[in-house]
Amino acid sequence: MNNRLVKFLEQNNLLSSSQYGFRSGISTSNAVLDLTNNIVSNLDNKQKVIGVFLDLAKAFDTISVPTLTAKLEKIGIRGIQLALFESYLTARRQCLRIGDWTSDELPISYGVPQGSIIGPTLFLIYINDLCCFTIPNTSIFTYADDTALLFHGDSWEQAFQYAQSGLDMVTNWLTQNLLTLNVEKTKYLTFSLSTAGKPPSSSYSLIAHSCSSHPQKVCNCPSLSRNNCIKYLGVHIDDCLSFETHIDTLTSRLRRLIYIFKSLRHVADTGVVRLVYLALGQSLIQYCILAWGGATKTHMLKLERAQRALLKVGWQLPYRFPTTDLYKKCTVLSVRKLFVLNLLLTKHAQTPYEPSKFSSQRRKHTVCPYFRTQCRSSQRSYLFLGSYVYNHVNKLLNIYHMRKSKCKKVITKWLLQLDYTEIEKLLSINR
């Protein structure tokens, strides 16, 4: 049932492109990268950006079954198929078991069955209308129920007006669909390139209106809390997009692995140690690295030191073992090189193969159009570095004509030969 339902939704493009959750070929990394790219693009255009990160209370458990069946019928599921879903969702009962004691069964009139295969797909259909909202100067990014709203304007006053108007529309929709906004956990950030460009907290506020008197009368509805940093889909996003908090958290998590490798190195060979490092260490580093991997050297140095400490402990190498020899001996990539590898592979997958388009000898290696930036800080983002680095590496390795599997092997072999200075020169913003 779930496979046929997903196929029906995808073939008819019924799910919003703003929804990233539980969809084939799309992950949290795509959601975080598109979110940060949107912020960088607006900041580069001298816009004021406000990000509202919604928190829904028990979203899966509060879905109205009659409303869900109405939404299923609206998208084209009717007749026997609709009756099948109604039979599956209605007249459900639930009991609680603790040890040998079992409670009486009680009927369930709300929610979709959690833990089921089809439950997430039904939730995507239920919340799809929210993702399809057309709000002026607004972008919506949703992973299941984790929703982020980005508002932008020419001034902070205009941005807050758009944000308040959009938030009112969202809260009204949530009320109509029996979903509850957790106001205490819903936060907002004001993004800027520097601390001097932030608006004073006393001048502006966002209110989660739940009253019918808005906007004619003064109400006692709660205001949203403004934060300097928020954790969205496992990534700490700060209001200056420096990712310092995320890198510090990642550094601490890597250093906590040192004890494991101290115990492992005495009972396993280097091949097993490398596999464990790839599973526990490198997987942490690579998560959403395209969004934060372009951070400044000052912040990245802490993470690279933690990575080197972990490798030296696992391979039983002395404290002052040369850095260049360390990565070659362990046959792993540094943090910066992992960023470049993921950047090139992602850009390679996104670039359509059109050999006739680049027949000119002068421009045969410029296969990706450049993102023109006005701010130097934007040059550290994937929007700029993606095209710049891909075109540069394509001149050296001619990777544009390669398949993804071969492309990864060629790039990895090339990166292992580069030293720290060459990588920093490749990613340098002093162009």
Task: Give the pLDDT of the chain (431 residues) as one tens digit per residue.
Answer: 889 999 999 999 999 999 998 888 899 999 999 999 999 999 999 999 999 999 998 888 888 889 999 999 999 998 899 999 888 888 888 888 999 999 988 888 888 887 888 989 999 999 999 998 888 899 999 998 899 999 999 999 999 999 999 999 999 999 999 898 999 999 999 998 877 778 877 778 888 887 765 555 677 888 899 999 999 999 999 999 999 999 999 999 999 999 999 999 889 899 999 999 999 999 999 999 999 999 988 899 999 999 999 999 999 999 999 988 999 999 999 999 999 999 999 999 888 877 665 555 445 567 888 888 878 778 888 988 888 899 889 888 888 888 888 999 999 999 999 888 888 888 875 44
d(CA 173, CA 307): 46
Q: At what angle do helices 323-330 and 297-314 cross, to 10 degrees?
A: 60
Beta-strand (E) ranges in 91-241? 92-94, 97-98, 101-102, 106-108, 138-143, 146-153, 180-181, 187-191, 225-226, 229-232, 235-238
User: What pTM did the predictor assign?
Assistant: 0.89
